[in-house]
Structures are given as structure tokens and as C-alpha cells.
Amino acid sequence: MSRLDSFIRRLEAQRACLDFACAAIAGLPGPVLELGLGNGRTFDHLRERLPDREIFVFERDPRPHPACWPDPDHLIRGDLADTLPGAAARLPAPAALVHADLGTGDAARNARLAAWLAATLPPLLVPGGLVASDQPLEAAPLEPLPPPPPIQPGRYFLYRRRRC
Ligand SMILES: C[S@@+](CC[C@H](N)C(=O)[O-])C[C@H]1O[C@@H](n2cnc3c(N)ncnc32)[C@H](O)[C@@H]1O
């Protein structure tokens, strides 16, 4: 598969998982956490799909498209290692959805960050809340969900925080 095909499939999987998650949290209270602003594409998608949700964006070096800046009250600047562990005190409620798109070409770094996120995210989520992630996350409180058809497993990852 060419790198272009691979890139397009990843974006199709990302969009399908985000759309699934946005629908799945209907009726579940809580804000959305966007981990990694990047160009702001997925932030823009989430705010379009969820116009009534607060979306808090975590980013260490914000440089989005000019049309995709979060408002200052919803942009949490800094490295996640510093900003995420204490985030519950800043959020109005546990999150209904977390989207993590933080991966790079460094597989070892991705694995370390994913292991840390898997341990750090569950207390920030409302029971039944969803996680969509570019990296697999392994944690007992997170139940893996299959990607929505026709997305093949392993391209993007969905989890639901267990209720007990
Ligand atoms: C792949 S980009 C996100 C792309 C975004 N989803 C989009 O659609 O435009 C990853 C972003 O995560 C940020 N990031 C990576 N590791 C981080 C960390 N430890 N703390 C804060 N931000 C981080 C990077 O600076 C980068 O902007």
C-alpha cells in the first residue's frame, strides 16, 4: 500500500471513529478533551459535530490553522505530562469524550506515551465515556470497542470507560 493510501485510510478511520464517538455520547454529560491540536482539523470536526459541548484542547505548541484556534479559556497550553494529571480540577465535569491524536514516527515514544495515557485518562472520564485514539491504549477501566464498519481494526482505536 502506498503511503498516500495509508494516510487516507488513517484519516478515514479517524473521522469514522470520531463520528461514532460523537453519536455515542449523546445523552452523556461532560466536556470533550482534544489532546493535540496540530493543524486543528479534528478540533474543527469535533466542534462542528458537537456544537453544544465544551471542548478543552491540550497542546504544548499551538500552531493551528488561523480559523481553528480554540478560545483562550479552552486552550490548555503545556506538555501533557504537566497539564493532564491535574486537569480534573480545571474541568467543569468529567469528560464524555477524549480524543488523543499524539503519535509521531517514533514507535518507542508512541508506546511510552500510550502507556502513560492509558493510566492517566480513566479518572478524567465519566463512566461510559468514550476515548478515540491514534494509538492502542491498554487499561482495565477502558473497554476496547470495534471500529465502526467498514473500518478495519488497528487503524484507529475506540474505548469506553467501564461503568464499574
Ligand atoms: C498529529 S498532531 C494532531 C493533529 C490534529 N488532530 C489535527 O487534526 O490537526 C499532534 C499534536 O500533538 C501535540 N503533542 C504531542 N505530544 C504532546 C505532549 N506531550 N503534550 C502536549 N502536546 C503534544 C503536538 O505538538 C502536535 O501539535
Where in the chain are the domains? 3-161
Average pLDDT over residues 94-105: 96
What is the rounded average pLDDT of the residues 90-114?
A: 96
Given the candidates 3.40.50.150, 3.40.630.30, 3.30.565.60, 3.40.640.10, the CATH classification of the domain at 3-161 is 3.40.50.150
C-alpha 51 to ligand 1 mean position (Å):
22
Q: Over the chain, what is the mean pLDDT?
A: 97
User: CA 71 to CA 129: how far, in whole Å?
Assistant: 24
Distance CA 49, CA 158 (A): 17
Q: What angle do CA 61, 62, 68 make, to 5 degrees?
A: 165
Q: Is the pLDDT of residue 111 over 80?
A: yes
- The pLDDT value recorded for residue 8 is 96
pLDDT for 164 equals 74
Q: CB–CB of 130/163 below 8 Å?
A: no
Q: Give the mutation target among 102, 110, 116, 117 for probing the ligand 1 site: most ligand atoms within 8 A of CB.
A: 102
Residue 161 exposed, middle or buried by CB count within 10 Å (0-12, 13-18, 19+): buried
* 92 confidence band (pLDDT: 50, 70, 90): very high
Query: Hunting for cell 455520547 — which residue is that?
Result: 25
| Distance (Å) from CA 151 to ligand 1 centroid | 23
